[in-house]
Amino acid sequence: WQNIQLGKIVCRPSSVDVQVLVMDVLEEEKERISAKQLEVSCKMEKNLCVWVDRNLFSLAFRHILSNAIKFTPRQGRIEIKTYKTGHAGVIQIKDSGVGMEDEKIKLLFRSETAFSTFGTENERGTGMGLLIAHESVTKNKGFIFVSSQVGKGSVFSIHLPLKKDLALS
């Protein structure tokens, strides 16, 4: 995270196929998903490419998916959806997890208020994953929108540019 903050990580954007990247990360997380007996469904727009640094985007998606796994109870559900809207490609991760209050959402991406919470099976974390995801997406000229309901789950929507030199806000 510090390296991103200090500008030591160089962002080298190119056209990245979202479906390929999502499937790669899901494969990496297969064991954790299986261990909690989670149902993961994907509804992905074919040939959706975003203009990003592949490594930073992969890092962001991995951290958000990891949080969804961590905070979704055994036999819960995670839905991944990708689509285009305006000038953005959107990657949405929705879980049937514990959810969060609005006050907690406001603190998610602030370094001075980073916090760690145990997962549904007492999984530990550093409290930095979502901060790293936010910085990685911002570095790629995108943003993350979060909505959540306590006891129902959370939705993280990553918005990334479809074309070179397009900054989203």
Alpha carbon distance 82, 62 (integer Å): 15
Q: Is the pLDDT of residue 51 over 80?
A: yes
Model pTM score: 0.86
Alpha carbon distance 134, 146 (integer Å): 11
**What top-level class would CATH report for the domain 13-115+124-161?**
alpha beta
User: What is the pLDDT, as a whole number, of residue 5?
Assistant: 45
Q: Worst-scoring range by mean pLDDT, 5-14, 15-24, 138-147?
A: 5-14
What percent of the chain clears pLDDT 70, i.e. is strictly above it? 80
* Residue spans per domain, the chain: 13-115+124-161
Q: For residue range 130-168, list pLDDT tens digits in order.
A: 888 999 999 999 999 999 999 999 999 999 999 766 666
Query: Which is it for strands 39-44 and 153-161: parallel, antiparallel or unpaired?
Result: unpaired
E strands present in 53-107: 77-85, 88-95
